[in-house]
Amino acid sequence: MAIRRAMSGRIMGRTTVVGARSMSSWWRNVEPAPKDPILGVTEAFLADPHPDKVNVGVGAYRDDNGKPVVLECVREAERRIAGNLNMEYLPMGGSVKMVEETLKLAYGENSELIKDKRIAAVQALSGTGACRLFADFQKRFRPDSQIYIPVPTWANHHNIWRDAQVPQKTYHYYHPESRGLDFAAMMDDIKNAPNGSVFLLHACAHNPTGVDPSEEQWREISQQIKAKGHFAFFDMAYQGFASGDPERDAKSIRIFLEDGHYIGIAQSYAKNMGLYGQRVGCLSVLCGDEKEAVAVKSQLQQLARPMYSNPPVHGALIVSTILNDPDLKKLWLKEVKVMADRIIGMRTALRESLENLGSPLSWKHITNQIGMFCYSGLTPEQVDRLTNEFHIYLTRNGRISMAGVTTGNVEYLANAIHKVTKSA
Amino acid sequence: MASVFASIVQAPEDPILGVTVAYNKDSSPIKLNLGVGAYRTEEGKPLVLNVVRKAEQLLVNDLSRVKEYLPILGLAEFNKLSAKLILGDDSPAIQENRVATAQCLSGTGSLRVGAEFLAKHYHERTIYIPLPTWGNHPKVFTMAGLSVKTYRYYDPTTRGLDFQGLLEDLGAAPAGAIVLLHACAHNPTGVDPTVEQWEQIRQLMRSKGLLPFFDSAYQGFASGSLDTDAQPVRMFVADGGECFIAQSYAKNMGLYGERVGALSIVCKAADVASRVESQLKLVIRPMYSNPPIHGASIAATILKNSDMYNEWKVELKAMADRIISMRKQLFDALTAKGTPGDWSHIIKQIGMFTFTGLNSDQVAFMTKEYHIYMTSDGRISMAGLSSSTVPHLADAIHAAVTRSC
């Protein structure tokens, strides 16, 4: 019947349509989504015409002129790559060379675990992609587990595990009064969580607070997690960027490895190699033996295939070109240290400026905290004043991206902060 | 402590990508990889288009370029140009701002993001996919939270379209159901509806309120003409209705590993498109935050420069023409050998793949005796053939078909 009816209306091009125009949109009930709290800040900044505006919102590195930076080692790697290689699909697990070098950074150059092939690892879409793959993997293979997430954390962590349909719980982390770590409460939460829970840990340079456990505290955390049989998943987005020394920044992970944990790690090259938009990262899961690592890797690939089939090649080529060339690798380490040192310098400058202005508050935390971000302690209302009165853009939780601070704007920033807090 | 993942079993090899793995392991001097759909030159080499190399040089030499994050929806310029490419420069849907476009990771990523959006915002949770379809389609949709049903598509007896079955099955689908349509060069069969048949499909779908989700992975690659290959999509958009379109630049621009694609959602009204766009961001952000910049920049450079665009069309037609020529050569070779059976489907089918009609036993035989690697459903990638290897394949097919066991 349907065929005969259809055959009799052999019209092509613009036709009389059965129903299409008269129906309303299927999407008419779709709500406008709220703006992303972090990325929305830069949008607002870009729209502001004020000459003194300052962007200390999104965590992307800026040089002392406030300009984005492409590292020299990256430019050189790109020159070597362009025109030489083809653009064939990578395997589902990504670039083997890139992953090998990336594991060395996290697990150690001479790690026995790498030699014994006990690490299941795949190239991932930067830190976000690595976390999401792990969350999907957790959902599939430990469907009864939940994820413990620190308070506060990078906002997108909540979205990732939610979309993977893994239930979330939180653990104490930031101590507002001291603007430091709420260590006792954190240890209590680890102790009280049901045995075998999954804990999300920031390996270094906690985002958004910049507050990291000390080495001694990490050792205690490791022991407690071990005692409870918990699984530690590290998000390491700032290796090298925190202290300037990648080995030092991986200390927390190395402690857990020494203590015999089986861990997972999300690594990102967005900040430490400045490869933001290239989306280059790695997800690794430490396994009992090589056979298990092969099995786990195959399952991670099964999760990547229906998401994007295989990861992008360009950024991975940049990374493996740099890390496989001793001179380029040395140059990279130097450039990472320059970035980290500039940020550390700005922390000192901001703190000193505020102290010199005679601020009644303590600003020690600016230099105690580490990495790209400073959890200033400013209230949302104070943040709104900074934005509305001084055209200074940051997220409403008071997180300042130190990478946006320069010798050119640090005084202006200090003045503004002083103005909105001096009566606090 | 034992690992919490100690009991995990190894996943089976991906049926398509596993073919290349097996091919690489084979040490025979004469072997043929007709598995994965990646274009090969007459010399059997992968091809980076000249215009792509040019675009890449421009990008590398432009020192003002930085590597910052793209917006969540990707490169705006790329998105506009991609929508124009599939919908046409003068598309009213574009002029009326009714198209929400997001740069995604090639075809796979575009399908997945579209499917996740549907699972969140659409009232129907079932997608109808053709039988057969690309091996990865079912998992993309089920991982997104949709359930998958099939509609008849390929007719093994004619090695052509089971049009009657298709109309019956779509006719029986519940109102509002999502329907996956291959825009051109159906993968794996190479069997496409005619223009008349597309019109009937369109009328049927609109009368039942079925939602079209186009997978466009071969625009320009099938017939050699970008506009011709976009016809089915444009027919649906011309009637003013809504649809989803997943575009890939993997094959037609040879950008495979750069993962360049776009998801476009054609809506009834501009304010709807705007809200849809905002919701797409919420799907993408927890998946990978924002898409990779390199490949999309190459594609945008080519699409917006009229000289480079024309160069691209010429190189694209050359690839399509070489494939059409391989089809002819294989058909002629089998005819000359007198291989039993009707092999005209080789020249009737279109695009990168031919559904040979060989069964899995015959395929296994060809792999073992002739070192020919292909998927067990009998699909061969014509792009993997060359004038010098056609005879070997013809020998293998002939042997497989005529052997007594």
DSSP string, B115-154: HHHHHHH-S--EEEEEES--TTHHHHHHHHT-EEEEEE-E
Cβ contact A83–B57 (<8 Å): yes
**With pLDDT > 90 as the criterion, what percentage of chain B qualifies?**
86
ipTM entry: 0.90
pLDDT at B8: 83
Identify all chain A residues contacting B142, using CB atoms and an 8 Å cutoff: 306
Mutual angle of helices B360-370 and B390-402, in 10-degree steps: 130
State the pLDDT at residue B369: 96
d(CA B249, CA B262): 9
- Taking the alpha carbons at both ends of chain A, their separation in whole angstroms is 79
- Helices B306-337 and B390-402, interaxial angle, to 10°? 40
Q: Closest partner residue to B272 among A27, A262, A296, by Cβ?
A: A27
**How many CB atoms lie under 10 A from the CB of residue A163?**
19
Q: Which residues contact A340 (CB under 8 A, 6 or more apart)?
A: A240, A241, A242, A243, A244
Q: Is B162 on the interface with A (CB under 8 A)?
A: no
For chain B, how big is the Rg over CA atoms in Å?
22
- Round to whole Å and give the CA distance between B3 and B90: 59
Distance from CA of A125 to the nearest CA of B (A): 6
Give residues 207 to 246 of B whose Cβ lies within 8 Å of A. Answer: 207, 209, 211, 235, 238-242
pLDDT at A408: 96
Note the pLDDT of residue A18: 43
- CA-based nearest residue to A190, from A157, A149, A136, A160: A149
The size of the A-B interface in CB pairs under 8 A is 283
**Higher per-residue confidence, A265 vs B69:** A265
Locate CATH 3.40.640.10 in chain B: 69-304
Question: Residues A318, A275: contact at Cβ < 8 Å?
Answer: yes
Q: Tell me which chain B residues have a C-beta less than 8 angstroms from the C-beta of A129.
A: 287-289
pLDDT in tens, B154-207: 999 999 999 999 999 999 999 999 999 999 999 999 999 999 999 999 999 999
Q: Is B49 left (phi over 0), alpha (psi -120 to 50) or beta?
A: beta
How many percent of chain B have pLDDT more than 70?
A: 99
Determine the pLDDT at residue A126.
97
SS3 content of chain A, % helix, strand, coil (to 5): 45, 10, 40
Pick the closest to residue A174 from A198, A195, A149 (CA basis). A149
Crossing angle of helices A380-390 and A410-421, in 10° steps, is 130
User: What is the Cα–Cα distance from B401 to B366, expressed in whole angstroms?
Assistant: 10
Cα(A313)–Cα(A86) distance, rounded to whole angstroms?
10
pLDDT at residue number A64:
94
Give me the phi and psi of A142, to 5 degrees please: -135, 65
Angle at which helix B76-87 crosses helix B226-238, to 10 degrees, equals 90
Instruction: Tell me if B279 and A28 make a contact (CB, 8 A cut-off).
Output: no
Q: If you count them, how many residues does chain B have?
A: 405
Sheet of strand B211-216, all strands in order from the earlier edge strand to the far edge: B99-104, B261-266, B243-248, B211-216, B178-182, B126-131, B147-152
pLDDT per position as a tens digit, A119-132: 999 999 999 999 99
pTM for this model (two decimals)? 0.91
The per-residue pLDDT for range B213-253, each reduced to its tens digit, is: 999 999 999 999 999 999 999 999 999 999 999 999 999 99
List the CATH code of the domain at B69-304. 3.40.640.10
Pairing label, strands B178-182, A399-401: unpaired
Is the Cβ pair B289, A231 closer than 8 Å?
Answer: no
Q: What residue in B sits closest to A262 (Cα-Cα)?
A: B3
pLDDT at B405: 52
Instruction: Give just the sign of the alpha carbon dihedral B371, B376, B380, B381.
Output: negative
Interface of B with A in 28-47 (CB under 8 A): 36, 38, 46-47
Helices (H), A21-153: 39-47, 72-81, 96-107, 112-115, 126-141
Low-confidence ranges of chain A (pLDDT < 70): 1-26, 28, 84, 424
Going through B183-320 in order, the beta strands assigned E by DSSP cover 211-216, 243-248, 261-266
Average pLDDT value over all residues in chain B: 94
Write out the two tokens for A334: 């130097």
Q: Residue A220 corresponds to which tokens in the numbers above?
A: 């205690």
Q: Point out the residue among B2, B36, B275 whose CB comes nearest to the CB of A32.
A: B275
Search chain B and give the residue with CA nearest A32.
Answer: B275
List phi, psi (to 5°) of B297.
Answer: -65, -40
pLDDT, position B37 = 81
User: What's the CA gap between A192 and A206, in Å, rounded?
Assistant: 23
| Residue A210 to residue A375: CA distance in whole angstroms | 7
Output the furthest CA–CA distance in chain A (Å, rounded).
Answer: 88
Nearest to A141 among B8, B274, B283 (CB): B8
SS (H, E, C) A142-206: CCCCCEEEEECCCHHHHHHHHHCCCCEEEEECEECCCCEECHHHHHHHHHHCCCCCEEEEECCCC
Catalytic one among B162, B192, B215, B229?
A: B215
Distances (CA, A) of B344 to A66, B335, B394: 65, 9, 14
For residues B259 and B255, give the distance between their C-alpha atoms in angstroms, rounded to a whole number. 7
Torsion over CA: B286, B292, B293, B295 (sign): negative
Residue ranges matching CATH 3.90.1150.10 in chain B: 16-47+319-400
Q: What is the pLDDT of residue A402?
A: 96
Which positions in chain A touch B2 (Cβ < 8 Å)?
Answer: 288
DSSP A225-293: HHHTT-EEEEEES-TTTTTS-HHHHTHHHHHHHHTT--EEEEEE-TTTS--GGG--EEEEEE-SSHHHH
Q: Identify the three-state secondary structure at position B266.
A: strand
Q: Are B184 and B222 in contact (CB under 8 A)?
A: yes
CB contact under 8 A, A314 and B204: no
CATH of domain B16-47+319-400: 3.90.1150.10
Which residue segments constitute the domains of chain A, with CATH numbers given? 39-69+341-421 (3.90.1150.10), 90-324 (3.40.640.10)
Contact yes or no for A418/A359 (Cβ under 8 A)? yes
Question: Which pairing describes strands B261-266 and A54-55: parallel, antiparallel, or unpaired?
Answer: unpaired
